Amino acid sequence: MEEELVVFNNPKSRISESIKSIRTNLQFSSIDNNIKTIMVTSSIPGEGKSFISANLACAFADSDIKVLLIDCDLRKGRQHEIFNISNSKGLSNLLIDNVINYKKYIKSTGYSNIKVLPAGIIPPNPSELLGSKKNKSLIDLLRKDFDVIILDCPPVNGLSDALVMTSLADAVIIVCAQNKTKISVLDDTKKALLQVNANITGVIMNKVDLKEKNDYYRYYSDERHS
């Protein structure tokens, strides 16, 4: 499914330009506060958070930044499908190993400046693994090796997986979808994240009808939409 990587495959498209604008906004917002780990989540499945995570990682890599994309959706991760890499060993496998062995699990992608740590096998205890001290130690190690780390996390509603990851993220982005995400559901997501002191940096409106809007993806600062 590498055709989903529009930033690399169609860099002049309106979609690519919009995602690059989001990257630029994040870079400007990190002037005073160093943003190195960026968590991408959504309210419910099907809003496109994995697509956004992958292309945001590509946008950072395209600006000559060393990027690692981690698939933290241990239940339904799909970054291995997007980048056409093996998922036989990934984050879940690494977290039951010694985390200093992380280089054995990180996959090259064929694209400059971007590597992927896929989700790995589906474990019986995703929340416990993601909230473990070993996961924190892993992120601390990875922060030394990469300029930017994108955390593709599960949807918030109904699961605690994403919420336990917020303490590891310098910035949190919520992806929602036009004609799919209800305002009440999005509001519940925001409240849940704020309860665990997440640094919500913005909201991305995904799957916008091109006939109705000038841009396919729109990014809203949380300060403007509080």
**DSSP string covering 12-76:** TSHHHHHHHHHHHHHHHHTTTS---EEEEEESSTTS-HHHHHHHHHHHHHHTT--EEEEE--TTT
Q: Mean pLDDT across the chain, nearest whole number?
A: 89
pLDDT band at 181 (very low <50, low <70, confident <90, very high): confident
Give 143's contacts (C-beta < 8 A, 6+ positions apart). 36, 37, 149
> Residues 174-189: what's their mean pLDDT?
90
pLDDT tens-digit readout, 184-206: 999 999 999 999 999 999 999 88
> Residues 100-110: what's their mean pLDDT?
96
The domain ranges of the chain are 2-221
pLDDT at residue 64, rounded to an integer: 86
pLDDT tens-digit readout, 136-166: 999 999 999 999 999 999 999 888 999 999 9
pLDDT tens-digit readout, 62-93: 888 999 999 999 999 999 999 999 999 999 99
Assigned CATH class of 2-221: alpha beta
Residue 22 to residue 78: CA distance in whole angstroms: 22
Q: Does residue 217 have a pLDDT over 80?
A: no
3-state helix, strand, coil in the chain (%, to 5): 40, 20, 45
pTM: 0.90
Higher pLDDT residue, 162 or 210? 162
